[in-house]
């Protein structure tokens, strides 16, 4: 090998050696950045967060012949062995079959009056409620809230799994067919008329301190015609009504 070849090979070794050093350096920097971001939680997606588990309250009791008045909330979880028989609605949502005739009658009458409601969320499984709960907590985490505060804020909008009325099959989120009605028209009609069919606005604006759920003008719960009429006329929420009833 002549001196020219040796010189060229030396240059090649120097070139490739320098590139290798830069590669190692950049890889180390990237690894350090990834570690720091991971430690800070910046690269953890909401989907990768574990499900939040909170202590369940005691199961609700069902008084004989009063299944429609079972109280499920932040103080009472689903009754033991609660297993509703469900009716499938035309849009794929489900509702307790005992409630369906009253819901259908309410919708038929509303539509005859030019108001077009739809059930946007009916019965939910434990798994579905857990998913919604986790997503709501993740939303508040992303806004910078600490873990406990994120849980508290999320719980004002999505009930702790096992304590949601949607899991009873007796409640529905009712919104508007926006091609034919506005949300305001639907909410107003329901607020004024739902009691006639055995439903109540479950989370009124002035009862948040009692229900622990923020005002939801779309969430209606079946309680039976007699109880719904009494609550509508008295302005009591379900917790107050049952406490008074004893």
Among 135, 152, 185, 216, which one carries the catalytic annotation? Answer: 216
Q: CA triplet 51, 175, 239: central angle to 5 degrees?
A: 65
Whether the Cβ atoms of residue 133 and residue 160 lie closer than 8 Å to each other: yes
Active site residue 135: no
- The 3 state secondary structure assigned to the chain is CCHHHHHHHHHHHHHHHHHHHHHHHHHHHHHHHHHHHHHHCCCCCHHHCCCCCCCCCCECCCCCCCHHHCCCECCEECCCCCCCCEEECCCCCEEECCCHHHHHHHHHHHHHCCCCEEEEECCCCHHHHHHHHHHHHHHHHHCCCCHHHHHHHHHCCCCCCCCCHHHCCCEEEEEECCCCCCHHHHHHHHHHHHHHHCEEECCCHHHHHHHCCCCCCCEEEECCHHHHHHHHHHCCCHHHHHHHHC
Tokens of 226: 């007699």
97 CB neighbour count, 10 Å cutoff: 13
Which position has the token pair 């009591």?
Answer: 236
- Number of residues that this document lists for the chain: 246
Which residues are tagged catalytic?
216
């Amino acid at each position: 090998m002549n001196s020219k070849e040796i010189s060229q090979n030396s240059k090649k070794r120097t070139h490739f050696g320098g590139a290798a050093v830069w590669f190692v350096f950049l890889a180390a920097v990237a690894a350090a950045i990834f570690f720091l971001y991971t430690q800070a939680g910046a690269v953890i997606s909401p989907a990768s967060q574990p499900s939040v588990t909170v202590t369940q309250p005691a199961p609700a009791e069902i008084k004989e012949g009063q299944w429609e008045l079972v109280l499920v909330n932040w103080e009472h979880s689903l009754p033991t062995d609660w297993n509703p028989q469900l009716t499938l609605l035309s849009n794929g949502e489900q509702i307790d079959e005992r409630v369906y005739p009253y819901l259908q009658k309410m919708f038929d009458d509303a539509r005859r009056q030019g108001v077009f409601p739809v059930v946007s969320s009916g019965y939910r499984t434990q798994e579905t409620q857990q998913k919604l709960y986790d997503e709501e907590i993740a939303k508040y985490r992303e806004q910078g809230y600490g873990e406990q505060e994120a849980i508290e804020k999320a719980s004002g909008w999505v009930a702790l799994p096992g304590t949601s009325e949607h899991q009873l099959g007796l409640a529905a989120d009712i919104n508007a067919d926006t091609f034919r009605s506005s949300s305001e028209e639907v909410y107003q009609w329901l607020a004024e008329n739902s009691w006639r069919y055995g439903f109540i606005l479950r989370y009124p604006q002035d009862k948040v301190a009692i229900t622990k759920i923020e005002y939801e003008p779309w969430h209606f719960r079946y309680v039976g015609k007699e109880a719904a009429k009494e609550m509508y006329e008295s302005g009591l929420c379900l917790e107050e009504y049952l406490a008074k009833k004893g």
